Amino acid sequence: MQETYSISELGKEFGITTRAIRFYEDKNLLSPTRQGSRRVYSRADRTRLKLLLRGKRLGWPLEEIKSVLDMYDTEEQGELKQLQYTYQKIEQRREQLEQQKKDIDSALADLDQIEQRCISHMAKLHQFHNNSGHKNQNQKNPGKLNTHNKQPASNSIIKETTS
C-alpha cells in the first residue's frame, strides 16, 4: 500500500469528486499536508475519508462523523471509544430504519386496500353503466369507464380505509 495519495487518486478510488474532498477539508474532516500548492494525503487521511464515507452511507451527520474521527485521533483509548460510539450510533440508526420500514409497509398496505376498493367500485360502476343502456364512449379502451354526465363518486372508498 502506498504511503501518500493525491486528491485525484483518492477521488478516483472512492468514486467522489475532488470538490467533495476539498469540502471535507473545509469542514476539518481531512487535513492533508502540502507540497507547494499540491495536497498530499497520508494513509491516515485515506482511512479517515473511508470512514467518513461509510458514516455518510449510514446517514450520519458530518458533526457525528467528525466526533468519531476526532475521538480516534486524540485519545489514548480512542479506537475503543470510537468503536463503542459507532456501535451505539449503528443501533440508533437501525431502530430508525426499522421504524421507517414499518411505516412504509403500513402505507403500502393502506394503498393496496384503497386500490382494491377503487377497482371493485370501478367494476360496479362499469357494470351499472352497461346494464342501464349507456354505451361506453371509450371504444378504444372498453375497460375505461364513461365519465360523461356521471355523478361524482362518494368518498366512501377513502373513508372506509381511514376508519
Give a yes or no: residue 61 inside a domain.
no
- Per-residue model confidence (pLDDT) at position 74: 64
Rounded to two decimals, the pTM is 0.53
Residues 110, 43, single domain; the answer is no
Whether residue 89 is found in the same domain as residue 161: yes
Same domain, yes or no: 104 and 160: yes
The verdict on 160 and 108 lying in the same domain is: yes
Shared domain for 83 and 134, answered yes or no, is: yes
Residue 15 lies in a domain: yes
User: pLDDT exceeding 70 applies to what percent of the chain?
Assistant: 76
For residue 73, give the nearest of 7, 35, 23, 29 by alpha carbon: 29
Say whether both 22 and 85 belong to one domain: no
Q: Which domain holds residue 11?
A: 4-53
Average pLDDT score, the chain: 82
Instruction: With beta carbons less than 8 A apart as the criterion, state whether 146 and 136 touch.
Output: yes
75 has pLDDT over 80:
no
Mark whether 161 and 90 lie in a shared domain: yes
pLDDT reported for residue 64: 87
pLDDT at position 41 over 70: yes
pLDDT at site 132: 78
CATH number at residue 11: 1.10.1660.10
Q: Is residue 120 part of a domain?
A: yes
Number of domains within the chain: 2
44 and 111 co-located in one domain: no
- Note the pLDDT of residue 79: 74
- Kindly report the backbone phi and psi dihedral angles of residue 16, in degrees, each rounded to the nearest multiple of 5, phi listed first: -130, 165
Q: What per-residue confidence (pLDDT) applies to 135?
A: 55
What local confidence, expressed as pLDDT, does residue 86 receive?
80
Q: Residue 90's pLDDT is what?
A: 86
Q: In this structure, are 26 and 82 located in the same domain?
A: no
| 132/77: higher pLDDT | 132
Residue 23 has pLDDT above 90, yes or no: yes
Same domain, 32 and 79: no
- Answer for the pair 29, 69: CB distance below 8 angstroms, yes or no: yes
